[in-house]
Structure 1
């Protein structure tokens, strides 16, 4: 498969480049041979050769006839003073995090809810009540698995509002879904393992798997869901360790996988012994009808790990997520959680328990859904008179917008940032970082007035660039 080979080739190139830039591979000393690197990384020699050739084209290495490749001096990190330790880092860059750090006024890149729409005052008014009930709260570590009261409350919540029976022993509390994905990856994925991942996808998950050295196999998701024949073909051919999916109001597309496919995905997971990591971060943000039950609800073989995060729409600052799995997997996940932080902060768990079990939570969700639908419609109204294309989502926080294929994407992004506007380029949401003609616009963070102002500026920039293209 061409796209998979490209991903592997890029991973090998990055592995080699990191060692050059940190000085681990010294100047003018013969670099590891094609054969030795192929054996070390478990890949074909041609893959190593292609990576070396690219490094040569980029000016990082040079070749000597019959002796091999050597590093050029210019790539060594030279700005480290003698007083500083020459520390080497092997962590991959987080492109989404880089975008979020941009200091802009119109943050269409932020797939989070406007803080003014969250129950801040309610929680602050009842903070003393929480401390009165748990006077030793700040002096107590939480259980690694999670606070027992919160786990009981979550189990009851799932059964009451989702008609989903989840036994308490199947729940671990994590510090957000991101930590859950990271724990699962560290527990079950090693370098060169295959991982199926929907395309486009949540880039934070792709970054985690890339850091594990996984070989990513993109699985296309559309408004109709997945092509299950393709999913089964990949599972049979690659024997992946897991399949990462966000099937309900998917980030970035807003698509929802239909119920029939959810049942079949659970069957495929059991048939091919492939863990499905179901990231369910937007379940309660629906605008018309409630979404279908999670894939987890159809699991009979214990191959589905379910992440139910409440960060996006209840209390982002508390970072509470339920990681749900069969007991056969749970024993390993608890060990992974212990290594991560030895337990989510107890204060966060007790504060969230207070809110989750209150009558206020349902009122909040009803009002929040109305507010977000209004903001979505305001953004769609701003897009309509321009050459954009998108499928209007039934929930979630984002619009996945197709732009003109002739558009200079780098120039569009640069001009947007110059005008204090940020969005997520489609390339970041592609597991293989292909240059696709899409952008993700989030309507959840800004109020209606700021959406109107920011979108007016963005569409004006877009139209002017299109006009320039026509005149070339």
Structure 2
């Protein structure tokens, strides 16, 4: 008899309880010994022919009964009879740690059928076959490429192409020598933080803000200050007052289709920000990871466009919507910041992979990229609108974004967010709790971030129905 036929969903004993009994019997027989690591949730679910969340619940119940314990980032272990653990365990590796620094990664790691937590593009929307053709052409043009390192600053040919693109599109003018290629936008944030921030420095961030960026700044010893971002942009008086009195070393902004809110800062404020930065000796770090994802909306020029000095550093990432696997971003800066960025980058990886840069260069030069972006924007707008239709009669509120990848949704009443997340995941639906993005860490934050690009329209309809039902069941 196989495990799959042994565990019956309609048995008198609930399925997760059957899994609990199975685990306890094997422990009692000595097949799994004290402090021995148990099979992963995925592996045991495959062995028993049950859903992963069934196994997860069984493990949770056994943990609550002190039959097993958990080690952070490691897994589940057999609890000894004397109750002494091998070492003091951290909180549960999935849910119990969602308040901690790496909660985004933790939630993203959970495999669900209705994926609204990942601000990533569905791979089906990317030109995968075309990439294969480009790979063949690239090795024909650069036969020695696998045996060649990139420079720390990045491939000169790619930097020339990007500099020409920015100039030709009228965004801003700069030379290839003013560009640095990094392995994605997050590395660019990290390299900038290592270069500019010293322990005790103040860093101004939007509220809400991108979680990993906040942690990068904190790990450099920064003290975070906040400025709210709203549908109409910033409170510029608040920002000027903060710059004048607190003297922040850095102001980290994501002004175009902001993550998580989707808000876009108006051009008038973008023109003023570099002036304030220069006046008060602050450096603005502008993170532009979804600039090209717009829905019939003319995206305003970046803040960097209006900078005449070195007080704005600009990050343009192409990872999310062109080729996530290549991890390509460009950092543009003027003034004397580049040597420091290069020094920090050299200690990180001594140069981003040249293979990735050359492959991206081939795509960037081709007319296929612009065609892809136009089709992608249409597809993502349809998915966004499908999610908004599902929310139309829910009582949930949001500001419909003109681009980007997320809806920032306010719930009509306060709920226990951890319980809500657990219940949603039990229905194979994921989202990100709002306070993950709150620099002040307020547990009272009534928002959630719902990302629409990873699920197709059918999955969005079914997943949102499940999510709304779960919310109504939480009191």
Alignment of 1:384 onto 2:386: no
Structure 2: distance between partners of 1:357 and 1:106 = 35
1:253 to 254, 258, 261: 261
Alignment of 1:455 onto 2:464: yes
Q: CA shift at 1:125, angstroms? A: 1.7
Match of 1:296 in 2: 304
Structure 2: distance between partners of 1:234 and 1:203 = 21
Evaluate the alpha carbon distance shift between residue 229 and residue 269 of structure 1 in structure 2; reply closer, same or farther with a 3 A threshold: same
- SS of the aligned residue for 2:350 comes to coil
Evaluate the alpha carbon distance shift between residue 162 and residue 95 of structure 1 in structure 2; reply closer, same or farther with a 3 A threshold: farther
Q: CA shift at 1:410, angstroms? A: 1.8
Match of 1:442 in 2: 451
Match of 1:365 in 2: 373
Structure 2: distance between partners of 1:93 and 1:431 = 11
Alignment of 1:119 onto 2:108: no
Alignment of 1:9-48 (within 5 A): none
Match of 1:344 in 2: 352
Match of 1:407 in 2: 415
Alignment of 1:153-192 (within 5 A): 153-192=161-200
Structure 2: distance between partners of 1:287 and 1:442 = 16
Structure 2: distance between partners of 1:249 and 1:433 = 22
Match of 2:275 in 1: 267
Evaluate the alpha carbon distance shift between residue 422 and residue 151 of structure 1 in structure 2; reply closer, same or farther with a 3 A threshold: same
- SS of the aligned residue for 2:313 comes to strand
Q: CA shift at 1:78, angstroms? A: 5.5
- SS of the aligned residue for 2:227 comes to strand
- SS of the aligned residue for 1:393 comes to coil
Render the CA deviation track for 1:328-372: whole Å, top value 9, x for unaligned.
111111111111101000000000000000010110010000000
Structure 1: distance between partners of 2:368 and 2:111 = 34
Alignment of 1:99-118 (within 5 A): 99-118=107-126
User: Normalization by structure 1: what TM-score?
Assistant: 0.79
Q: CA shift at 1:301, angstroms? A: 2.1
Match of 2:53 in 1: none
Alignment of 1:137 onto 2:176: no
| Gap regions ≥5 residues in structure 1 | 1-75, 81-91
Match of 1:30 in 2: none
Structure 2: distance between partners of 1:328 and 1:463 = 55
Q: CA shift at 1:422, angstroms? A: 1.0
User: Normalization by structure 2: what TM-score?
Assistant: 0.78
The Cα RMSD (Å) is: 1.4
Render the CA deviation track for 1:380-405: whole Å, top value 9, x for unaligned.
00011112000000000000000123
Structure 1: distance between partners of 2:120 and 2:280 = 35
- SS of the aligned residue for 2:336 comes to helix
Alignment of 1:95 onto 2:90: no
Match of 1:209 in 2: 217
Match of 2:332 in 1: 324
Match of 2:51 in 1: none
Structure 2: distance between partners of 1:318 and 1:448 = 27
- SS of the aligned residue for 2:238 comes to helix
Contact persistence 2:134–2:359 (CA under 8 A): no
| Gap regions ≥5 residues in structure 2 | 1-83, 89-99
Render the CA deviation track for 1:263-290: whole Å, top value 9, x for unaligned.
1111000001100000001110000222
Structure 1: distance between partners of 2:314 and 2:287 = 6
Structure 1: distance between partners of 2:236 and 2:432 = 28
Moved more, 415-424 or 348-357: 415-424
Structure 1: distance between partners of 2:431 and 2:447 = 11
Structure 1: distance between partners of 2:417 and 2:440 = 17
Q: CA shift at 1:162, angstroms? A: 4.6
Structure 2: distance between partners of 1:288 and 1:332 = 39
Structure 1: distance between partners of 2:408 and 2:240 = 26
Alignment of 1:220-231 (within 5 A): 220-231=228-239
Q: CA shift at 1:93, angstroms? A: 3.2
Contact persistence 1:386–1:463 (CA under 8 A): no
Render the CA deviation track for 1:101-127: whole Å, top value 9, x for unaligned.
112111100001111111111010221
2:439 to 428, 431, 438: 431
Alignment of 1:279 onto 2:276: no
- SS of the aligned residue for 1:410 comes to helix
- SS of the aligned residue for 1:328 comes to coil
Moved more, 152-161 or 132-141: 152-161
Structure 2: distance between partners of 1:277 and 1:195 = 10
